[in-house]
Amino acid sequence: MMRIGFHASHEQISPRQLLADVQHAERAGFAMAMCSDHLAPWSTRQGHSGYAWAWLGAALATTGLSFGTVSAPGQRYHPAVHAQRIATLGQMFPGRFWVALGSGENANEHVTGQPWPAKEVRTRRLEESVDVIRRLLAGEEVTHDGLVTVDRARVWERADPAPLLVGPAVSVASAARVARWADGLVTVSQPVDTLRRVLTAYRDAGGAGTAALQVHLSWAPTQEEAQRVAHEQWRTNVFGEPVNWDTATVDAFDVMGEQVGPEAVARSVRVSADLGQHRAWLQEYAELGFDDVYLHFVGQEQERFLDTFGEHVLPDFQP
């Protein structure tokens, strides 16, 4: 049975409110949660971006849910410090925390003042970082000299079990590549045929573990409101590679977003006032073979969405 979780969007909601929202999600029947980990939002209309790692400690301590986050080691985060963060949460909350390790986005990473590398360099830097983090989580002392530099690092807190290091992938090529090292896969809303190819590429390349999907959606009692919310909040998030990776500032995303209409947003966000339609979309993902789906309502006020989906959608996906 596919599990349904809640996605906590730090870029859209203050950390204080988001903590109350994830507690609400647990009461509404969501089985688990994940969150973003960025320094900046994609739009001034979103207007937030709390520090995910402080928030995760509070969220794990005040709910019984398992949690994950998508995070980028190598530039803004040194992999040895990242390993310490991961191990600490894993030691405090055994078996309840995972992290997906990605190659990053310029909007968050440029603040270090280091050059923003080409995609292949970022991918190789990520793979070096993953190796360093995995060895540190295993208790090794690590020295490494490559695209990242580590000098005699050791993480003294050990998590048992060690948190899963999940591979985030959007393209078929990325899915096959992360299968070399990942303990699971997480991807995002795309056309069903694309998702099928991504999942197949991961499995065919030997990728094991849970396959998870983050679904962007907009629901409201009327179609007009659902469309308005999606366009107001998510029109800066529809750009594909390499624009989404390489754009450096919130202002630039906002300028580009002014050229995006509701129809374009609907290609990235599941927009409908019909709860039956949302249930049907979720059933498609179950039939594709996803184990976990995290629902991201792209509006800033979560209460109505949580209660409505908790009552009318989640029961169809519970044993």
Instruction: Tell me the one-letter amino acid at 181.
Output: W
- Which of the 8 DSSP states describes residue 42? S
Q: Is 38 a catalytic residue?
A: yes
Nearest to 264 by CA among 296, 294, 240, 293: 240
**Which residues lie closer than 8 Å to 230 by C-beta, 6 or more apart?**
218, 262, 265, 266, 269, 271, 298
Identify the CA nearest to 33 among candidates 45, 50, 21, 41.
Answer: 21
Is 43:14 a contact under the CB 8 Å cutoff?
no
**Residue 265 CB contacts under 8 Å (≥ 6 apart), including other chains:** 227, 230, 231, 234, 235, 238, 271
What's the CA gap between 90 and 161, in Å, rounded?
A: 7
H/E segment holding residue 166: strand 164-168
Examine the residue annotation and report whether 48 is marked as an active-site residue of this protein: no
Whole-angstrom Cα distance, residue 136 to residue 81? Answer: 10
- Of the candidates 24, 38, 231, 278, the residue annotated as catalytic is 38
Which among 10, 11, 24, 105 is annotated as catalytic? Answer: 105
Pairing mode, if any, of strands 142-145 and 149-153?
antiparallel
Q: Which of 129, 132, 136 is nearest to 102 (CA)?
A: 129
Backbone φ and ψ for 46, nearest 5 degrees, come out as: -75, -55
Q: 């409110």: which residue's tokens?
A: 17
Give the whole-angstrom CA distance, residue 251 versus residue 182.
Answer: 34
User: Which active-site residues does the annotation give?
Assistant: 38, 105
